[in-house]
Structure 1
Amino acid sequence: MTTNKNARQFRWCSIALLTLGMCSGAVASSPSDPQCPSGNFAEFAQVFSSQPEIQKASIASSVQELRVVADGDKPKVVQRNIKALDATELNVLVPENAAASSLTIKVDLPNKLIVRDQAGKFLKVFVFKHGDCWVLDRVEDWSLENVSDVVSRTEKLLPGQRELRKGAWFDRLANHASPESGVYLYAAALDSYLAGAQEGSPQAALAAAGISLSGQAPRLDNSKIVDLLIAASKSIPDAGVTLANFYCDEGEYDDKQVCINPQLSMAALESAASRGSVDALSQLGEVYEVGTVAPADLPRAMACYQEVQKKDPESGTRGVDHLAAQGVVADNSIQCLKAGSFR
């Protein structure tokens, strides 16, 4: 029972808590091999992170290094094998150093240490392999600050644009990473988008909500997603359509689900349409035609499709013809948007 209890402790206790003395059961080095603290990776990682002498003894003779560098105005992934790993690469694994730089260290079983911040500025993955003991076999440096610095020297960016672009880079770089590392790249993309949204970028706000709802990055609280979409919709009319849909389904995509908040959904659609969103006008036509979010109103649906027709003839004509085939007659006295109905 004692062994199982200790195993549970190490499984759930993060390195950050260990360094603060909030977990008990620290592991002593093996008497037979003082340079191999444990065959259990979580236990080994605890000692490796805090003891430089163990670090020196636990590095493979040839380490694979992945690093992101600037290639003109975009990032490029460079990989190489190095014989001697610079000791400074491991400084961030020392808990005190990580804490001083606002970095978190996470044990990712079965064989990784993840070091990252919460602003999308720093991300390193340390990958180990096990033979006689654990050895550091691969270092992935996905940090993009240096690349952003190089590119930004030739550009004048609006507030939040640097973070928006960095988030997009992280998103694309996930395709060059292993699935395990890709999880953290998507999380870094979300962090970057959130930082950009905080600086006032509506595009970053929309991207943050989008990547969170996609399931690739961590899921934000519903209230946070609503705030992001509201902020984005003030400058990006089509974001109001996403907001309207979220009011209805809260990110749970089930065609049979009844709209959760039809009043807010309709207000968001009407507001987006009033700001020039053709998609919002088209969706209003569908809403009034089907009658699931608002009561069915075929003449008003026809009016919405006619408005779409003025801006997107092909799409609008399909809607108009579809209703006309059902005997709906256009009535020019009826408007798609009711005066004063949107906020």
Structure 2
Amino acid sequence: MNGFLKKRNGFAVAAFTASLLSLFHGSAYADECPSEDFSQFLPAFSANTETQQRLTAMTVKSLVLKPTGESGNFEPQTTGANSSTLAFPLMAPVTTGKAEGVEVEAVDDSHFNVVDKRAGNSNIKIFNFSRQACWVLEGVEDWSISDKNLVVASTPTMNTSENFCYQRAQAFAGLGGLEQYRLTGELFVAALENYVCAAASGDPQASLSAAGLSLSGMAPQLETEKVEALFKAAATTLADGAASLSTFYCYGNNPVPEGPCQHPEQAEKELIRAASMGSVSAMNYLGYSFEEGRLVTKDMSRALACYRLAADKGDDTAAGNLKRLNAQDAASTKTSYCY
């Protein structure tokens, strides 16, 4: 009986002590809360390391980008991280008022997100806050790609740093292409910036990707001179680069090709180069150009030659064009050369 009473009293004392500590901690916590107004709380929270540590949850929802296999793709992975393992300060100081590069989003009265773009589109972080006794940081989303998750390599046209940029560009473009993340627009901007970085030494594929993304409407447009330089670099070894340069000579830095070709001579020259470099679609379009006289040359015999060449390489559209012309008695036309 005495043992039972002692045990019962022990539970009571423990419960009473816990209650007192809870009340004391809650009172102190409330007193130490910088502000219930989030616009006032954020500058105080970000001001120093001690405040950030004190007002961060014990377990933080941590999102980071991780590679998925060997394809160069990345995906966001979320885990629970003990706050003691985090590298404080987590956030650079945010001054009162509207800070450039910082966006504050109200999810509801008890939840706010802070999108920090101050380190650039390749290093965006999102901080998730919830309101308890005070505002508390409960989640950190890191949308950057760490060097340790990239392959260290270089090529004749890309040094190691540029190669890192190329890998990041592909990863960000892949994430943006899924169109399922709130940062889709920023991911495409990051992809473009990294493609431009990767193309600094003239790499053809990086140059083509940068110019193509610029004209896709998914990212900001680069200036006309820059786009032309990128397409010229791409055209040195890539058939698709030469075909793209041909289109650029016709329609310039316009995402929607329309109107007459502005520079037909240059456009035809690059289209011929693209076909001669093995682009089957360029062969077919060159045939169409020769048939209709859309650029400079109008020559039915060369049109037939281009259609036949593309059809022999498996292009169904070219095969259809060849069949159409043959039905129009074009078979009697003496076949010439395509290019």
> Do they fold alike, i.e. is TM over 0.5?
yes
Shift of 1:79: 0.6
Tell me, in whole angstroms, the C-alpha distance in 2 between the residues paired with 1:247 and 1:37.
59
Greater Rg over alpha carbons, structure: 2
Secondary structure of the residue aligned to 1:93 is coil
Moved over 6 A (4+): none
Q: Could you say which residue in structure 2 is the equivalent of 1:198? A: 200
CA change 1:78–1:128 in 2 (3 A) is: closer
Shift of 1:236: 0.9
Q: Could you say which residue in structure 2 is the equivalent of 1:106? A: 101
Shift of 1:61: 5.4
Identity rate, percent: 27
Q: Could you say which residue in structure 2 is the equivalent of 1:252? A: 255
Shift of 1:266: 1.9
Query: What is the correspondence of 1:55-204 to structure 2 with a 5 Å cutoff?
Result: 55-56=52-53, 58-60=55-57, 62-70=59-67, 73=70, 74=72, 75=74, 77-84=76-83, 86=85, 88=87, 90-91=89-90, 93-94=92-93, 106-110=101-105, 111-115=113-117, 117=119, 122-129=122-129, 131=131, 135-149=136-150, 151-152=151-152, 156-158=153-155, 159=158, 160-174=162-176, 179-204=181-206
CA change 1:89–1:55 in 2 (3 A) is: closer
Secondary structure of the residue aligned to 1:308 is helix
Secondary structure of the residue aligned to 1:112 is strand
Shift of 1:185: 2.1
Q: Which moved more, 1:202-211 or 1:156-165?
A: 156-165
Cα contact 1:164–1:203 (8 A) shared by 2: no
Aligned length: 288
Tell me, in whole angstroms, the C-alpha distance in 1 between the residues paired with 2:78 and 2:123.
16
Shift of 1:216: 2.4
- The C-alpha deviation readout for 1:142-175, integer Å capped at 9, x for no partner, is 32233434x43xxx54224443233212222346
Shift of 1:49: 4.4
Secondary structure of the residue aligned to 2:325 is helix
**TM-score, structure 2 as length reference:** 0.70
| Letter paired with 1:112 | V
Tell me, in whole angstroms, the C-alpha distance in 1 between the residues paired with 2:178 and 2:320.
42
Secondary structure of the residue aligned to 2:61 is strand
Query: What is the correspondence of 1:1-343 to structure 2 with a 5 Å cutoff?
Result: 35-36=34-35, 38-40=37-39, 48-56=45-53, 58-60=55-57, 62-70=59-67, 73=70, 74=72, 75=74, 77-84=76-83, 86=85, 88=87, 90-91=89-90, 93-94=92-93, 106-110=101-105, 111-115=113-117, 117=119, 122-129=122-129, 131=131, 135-149=136-150, 151-152=151-152, 156-158=153-155, 159=158, 160-174=162-176, 179-249=181-251, 250-253=253-256, 257-294=259-296, 296-312=298-314, 314-328=316-330, 329-332=332-335, 334-337=336-339
Mind listing any 5+ residue stretches in structure 2 that lack a counterpart?
Answer: 1-30, 106-112
Cα contact 2:311–2:319 (8 A) shared by 1: yes
Mind listing any 5+ residue stretches in structure 1 that lack a counterpart?
Answer: 1-31, 96-103, 338-343
Cα contact 1:69–1:146 (8 A) shared by 2: no
